[in-house]
Amino acid sequence: MSEHKIKVQQLACARIPTDFGEFQLCLYENSKDDKEHLALVMGEVRGQEQVLVRVHSECFTGDVIGSLRCDCGDQLLGAMRIIGEAGQGVIVYLRQEGRGIGLLDKLRAYNLQDEGYDTVEANLMLGHQADEREYDIAAAILADLGVRSIRLLTNNPAKVESLKALGIDVRERVPIQAPVRPENAFYLSTKVHRMRHQLDLNKIEIRPKID
């Protein structure tokens, strides 16, 4: 993998037993922001090829309190399960809530979505881009862990493209299908039709736009 401009430093790692097996949770500081980004690591990954990797952006509502409005919590647990079954892998947990817009505007976007706007329209109405996430810190963490090439757990081709542009050797995109529920169906259909996500939505009916 290539050198990255962002510098990261691993401050501490600790053993984390879970329902999916035992991980090491490593905390990083970096030269870009003052946030504490994380890597959840199972098995030996240094110098390894085709390591299963999930680059997961923080979602307090989905990851922590189990909101059904999105598929984030399901994807995080799904990645842990897949990595646990393989006995090796990395979840890079980036602190970029709400596709990079922060929790406050994410909640404001939810209110706009309840009025009938989709997630892209809501972000734009609040003065943001549809997706403001960046992956340079993730690339630097993977380089620090010594991962040589990866199989990326994602439905988002833009994430594959971004990591490749940062010098990450992405050998394969591995789908990670979350349950489609009435509460998240419109959100997921928007990800497919407006953000190129590759999901099987079983022909979900899309709600009409506001006039």
Cα separation, 49 vs 51, whole angstroms: 6
Nearest 5°: CA angle at 75, between 74 and 79? Answer: 120
Question: Catalytic annotation on 19?
Answer: no
Choosing from 69, 131, 194, 211, the catalytic residue is 131
First-to-last alpha carbon distance for the chain, in angstroms, is 48
Choosing from 54, 69, 133, 136, the catalytic residue is 133
Residue 42 dihedral angles phi and psi, to the nearest 5°: -120, 130
Residue 90 dihedral angles phi and psi, to the nearest 5°: -140, 135
Question: Catalytic annotation on 194?
Answer: no
Strand ordering across the sheet containing 170-174: 8-18, 21-30, 37-42, 89-94, 51-57, 150-153, 170-174
Cα separation, 68 vs 122, whole angstroms: 18
Neighbours of 5 (CB within 10 A): 10
Q: Tell me the catalytic residues.
A: 131, 133
